[in-house]
Amino acid sequence: MHDIRAIRENPAAFDAALSRRGLSPVTPAILALDEERRARITAAESATAEQNRASKEVGAAKARGDDAEFERLRALVAEKKAEVARLTDEAKQKDRELEEMLLLIPNLPYPDVPDGEDESGNVEIRRWGHPRNFAFQPLEHYDIPAARDGMDFETAAKLSGSRFVVLSGAMARLQRALAQFMIDLHVEEHGLTETWTPVLVKSEMMLGTGQLPKFAEDSFQTTNGWWLVPTAEVTLTNIVNGVLVEDSYLPRRYVAHTQCFRSEAGSAGRDTSGMLRQHQFEKVEMVSVTRPDESDEEHRRMTRCAETVLERLGLPYRTVVLCTGDMGAGARRTHDIEVWLPGQDKYREISSVSTCGDYQARRMNARFRPQGGGKPEFVHTLNGSGLAVGRTLIAVLENGQEEDGSVTLPQALHPYLRGATRITAEGKLA
């Protein structure tokens, strides 16, 4: 959410920043509503002062025996009391309307974010590794013999519908090994705190990280009001919801492996084959909570954490900075990491690492007390995949596939698979 005072002080700059996202000016409507709210607050304060003056004079009139003045003043007190109540209610209503308006406005991009309308405006900042030269035509993950029997889309469709999968045998083992490898790397080498959180959350938590109210259709809600988390960003970030922490508490770096759920609204017809875009999937999610002056460096650090996973697995990737038109609503800057998928002959997103500034913190009222005193400040929040487990499984299969239908596994996973180095064409670990 945005600071109304900052909008009030420099509306032109606010609209100029939003225009980079392709949005029309919003400050005229915001400031008009803000003025209506403030006018009612001022009027209520004036009416309260008149009520207080009249209340003091009521006793004096009664003591003088001036019945007419006594009745006039008593009626004035009642009138002003009703007026104060009405104006206060109107101010609260205007305040709610203003908050609802501010909650729908996306974050302002940092000045260094490239301008652009869509993904064609994204800018590559580095590459790692070289796509493998195959002596045969590489297959997509669901067609590789080693994986076919362990990925059951037909049974999943019977159980739950489209965009689900049942993994078994080596595929289930491989997915579990990948998640364990990622968690161990982030905890033991990157210093993140392993965390286990619920996958059902209250609406206030979805509001805090920006999924609500604008993007409700992208998530699943239960009949009793809980929401299934789209990622652990929701739970990990909201740990500081409504909390005033000490400076020594920061930075906080969390990592969690969870099931994630997305309705994939608006993605009809996209990536319907295989495991690339599912309603239920697994992610290892990273979240950092920092002081404002440390968030840029933390963004770089988190990006490296995600990249390191791919490097340890030997998977070629490229990192891009998203342009203003392709960036998520809550982000001020986003780095997308795209892994090479030979079956598709292209790079595909496997991680988005975003810095949100104080946008989420204002929605959550998450603040810290600066060292040495001073007024509490809003924290900065960051989040990123470290990595999407299912997409990493796809990348391991496609990059490791062999002409005989088997898959050679990355060395980093061997200890997690009891020494197995490959999956045979028959789908067995060997």
Per the domain annotation, does 114 fall within a domain?
Answer: no
Tell me: do 154 and 288 sit in the same domain: yes
Beta-bridge partner residues of 256: 285
Per the domain annotation, does 151 fall within a domain?
Answer: yes
Tell me: do 85 and 147 sit in the same domain: no
Q: Are 365 and 285 in contact (CB under 8 A)?
A: no
CATH number for the domain spanning 47: value is: 1.10.287.40
For residue 315, what are the domain limits? 119-423
Last residue of a domain, one of 73, 103, 133: 103
Tell me: do 37 and 65 sit in the same domain: yes
Per the domain annotation, does 108 fall within a domain?
Answer: no
Consult the annotation and say whether 262 binds a ligand.
Answer: yes
Tell me: do 32 and 128 sit in the same domain: no
Consult the annotation and say whether 352 binds a ligand.
Answer: yes
Tell me: do 15 and 137 sit in the same domain: no
Between CA 297 and CA 288 the distance in angstroms is: 11
Tell me: do 302 and 223 sit in the same domain: yes
Tell me: do 27 and 150 sit in the same domain: no
CATH number for the domain spanning 242: value is: 3.30.930.10
Consult the annotation and say whether 233 binds a ligand.
Answer: yes
Tell me: do 183 and 249 sit in the same domain: yes
362 carries an active-site annotation: no
Q: What is the mean pLDDT of each run of 10 residues along the chain (430 residues)?
A: 96 98 97 97 96 87 81 90 96 97 97 97 98 98 98 98 97 98 98 98 98 95 97 98 97 98 77 90 98 98 98 98 98 98 97 98 98 93 98 98 98 98 98
From 219, 352, 354, 406, the catalytic residue: 352
Last residue of a domain, one of 103, 127, 160: 103
Tell me: do 82 and 132 sit in the same domain: no
**In the prediction, which pLDDT does 64 show?**
85
**In the prediction, which pLDDT does 68 show?**
81
Tell me: do 55 and 184 sit in the same domain: no
Per the domain annotation, does 429 fall within a domain?
Answer: no
How many domains are there within the chain? Answer: 2
Per the domain annotation, does 190 fall within a domain?
Answer: yes
Per the domain annotation, does 319 fall within a domain?
Answer: yes
Per the domain annotation, does 94 fall within a domain?
Answer: yes
From 40, 173, 262, 301, the catalytic residue: 262
Last residue of a domain, one of 103, 137, 162: 103
349 carries an active-site annotation: yes
Tell me: do 70 and 155 sit in the same domain: no
55 carries an active-site annotation: no
Per the rule left: phi > 0, alpha: psi between -120 and 50, beta: everything else, 225 is left
Q: Are 262 and 230 in contact (CB under 8 A)?
A: yes
Give the pair of three-digit tokens for residue 228: 């299934």
Consult the annotation and say whether 351 binds a ligand.
Answer: yes
From 194, 311, 349, 377, the catalytic residue: 349
Consult the annotation and say whether 285 binds a ligand.
Answer: yes
Tell me: do 182 and 69 sit in the same domain: no
**In the prediction, which pLDDT does 310 show?**
98
Which positions ≥6 away from 29 have C-beta within 8 Å? Answer: 101
Consult the annotation and say whether 235 binds a ligand.
Answer: no
**In the prediction, which pLDDT does 267 show?**
66
Residue 212, Cβ neighbours under 10 Å: how many? 19
For residue 157, which amino acid is it? A
Strands 333-341, 346-355: parallel, antiparallel or unpaired by DSSP? antiparallel
From 332, 363, 367, 391, the catalytic residue: 391
Consult the annotation and say whether 383 binds a ligand.
Answer: yes
Which positions ≥6 away from 216 have C-beta within 8 Å? Answer: none
Consult the annotation and say whether 263 binds a ligand.
Answer: yes
Between CA 340 and CA 395 the distance in angstroms is: 7
Per the domain annotation, does 213 fall within a domain?
Answer: yes
From 8, 86, 277, 369, the catalytic residue: 277
Consult the annotation and say whether 385 binds a ligand.
Answer: yes
Nearest alpha carbon to residue 138 among 310, 314, 346, 344: 344
